[in-house]
Amino acid sequence: MARKAPARGRIDVHHHLIPPAFTRAMEVRGLTEVASTPLPKWTVQQSLDVMDLNGIDLALTSLSAPGTYFDSKADAISLARACNEFAAEIKQQHPSRFGSFAVLPMPFTAEACAEAIYALDVLKAEGVVLLGSTDGKFLGDPSFDELMAELNRRKTVVFVHPNLHATTDQIGLATPLFIVEFLCDTTRAAVNLILSGTMERYPDIRWILSHAGGFLPYIAWRVSLANNFPAFVERAPLGVLTYARRFYYDTALSPSPFAMAALKALVDPSHILFGSDFPFAPAPLIGVEVQNLEALTLFDGETLNGIDRGHALKLFPQFAAQGEATEARRVKPQPRASALKTAIAGRAVALVDWLRNR
């Protein structure tokens, strides 16, 4: 069957921005890394170049860890506002290329509610980003119920990104923190959202889990053993696996046959979305992610089309092109011609340099 409209590019649901206000907040505290990764030097144009090269039409931007709370509640509130207004400016300048997940001044519930309302109503953010944990509190903590109720009322899309928990520093492993500890944070948050009853009480929140859900797809059956405990049956009466299958999962830094096989076995493919993790995943690595995703034999053409774009449109229908339709025939998103002229020649060399310096 032929497409009713020309093939469109990918929608990237895991794409970070680094606002000047956030850079300054890091600098004044002497912080230079996020989860063992140096804070990248980032510009809007760099995002556009990576998007053009990798067939990404639109990116939903979000602030990464550690969010906006460092040591001051007042600073967290003002920094969240500055970051969200910066994201809104980018959208105004490039309306066909960017959407945004608004950052909230967590773990301060009342202030997070106020910022969510402002960002969604005034700045027209497409959703919000919440860290798996902030200041030791995981999503699902009862202190966040007021915020959950507000997000549920609005049927908000919530992008869950990992953070580092205070206990991370006590482990004493030399492993770079983003490799394992980030995945622990996402997994713990997801399990807590289920077992605390948050997903049962607030069923209209649409959750996207970063990095293919951390370890959740692999351990989902084990987590479902909680169904044998009366307290958890009361909070999650539909069973753990039902709630785990409600999450959406992005492919950022996870497009391997191992991770995708576990994810495919757990959820309907319509809940798998493309994510890049740029710029914390540098430009050459985005190309590798795309190549690995394209090489997967686990998914047919229709599913790959959906992962690229169609599944995200179910959450964000406002980004659909007129007459756009989903179909089985695989049509790979193509790089923009202008990007090919400037980037293809240097991709291999850049990747080698990046790997050597990691």
Mean pLDDT of 52-66: 98
The reply to whether 325 falls in a domain is yes
Cβ atoms 50, 90 nearer than 8 A: no
Residue with tokens 């490039």: 94
Q: Which two tokens stand for residue 339?
A: 């990007």
Other Cβ atoms closer than 10 A to 279: 23
Please state the rounded mean pLDDT for residues 340-347: 51
Residue type at position 140 = G
Residue-level pLDDT at 32: 95
**Matching residue, tokens 């756009």:** 324
Domain annotation covers residue 3: no
Structure confidence by residue, pLDDT tens digits, 105-128:
999 999 999 999 999 999 999 999
Q: Would 137 be classed as within a structural domain?
A: yes
- Confidence check: pLDDT of 2 > 60: no
- Kindly tell me if the per-residue pLDDT of 10 is higher than 90: yes
**Residue 348: band (very low, low, confident or very high) from pLDDT cuts 50, 70, 90:** very low
**Picking from 154-158, 176-180, 282-286, which range would have the lowest pLDDT averaged per residue?**
176-180
pTM of the full structure: 0.92
User: What is the DSSP-derived secondary structure letter of residue 328?
Assistant: S
Give the model confidence (pLDDT) of 238-256 as tens digits: 999 999 999 999 999 999 9
CB 160 within 8 A of CB 186: yes
CATH number for the domain harbouring residue 82 = 3.20.20.140
Token code pair at residue 148: 């959950």
pLDDT of 322 reads 82
Domain, as residue range, for 115: 19-356
Q: Residue 13 domain-assigned?
A: no
Residue 90 in this model has a pLDDT that exceeds 50: yes
Is residue 12 one of the residues assigned to a domain? no
What are phi and psi for residue 312, nearest 5 degrees? -65, -30
> How many domains is the chain partitioned into structurally?
1
Would residue 5 count as lying in a domain? no
217, 210 Cβ separation under 8 angstroms: no
Identify residue 342 by its one-letter amino acid code.
T
Give the per-residue pLDDT at 358: 43
Q: What is the DSSP string of 6-27?
A: ----EEEEEEE---HHHHHHHH
- Say if CB 339 and CB 50 are below 8 A apart: no
Is 9 a member of any domain? no
Overall average pLDDT of the 19-37 stretch: 96
Does a structural domain hold residue 7?
Answer: no
8 A C-beta contact, residue 106 and residue 130: yes
Mean pLDDT score across all residues of the chain: 92
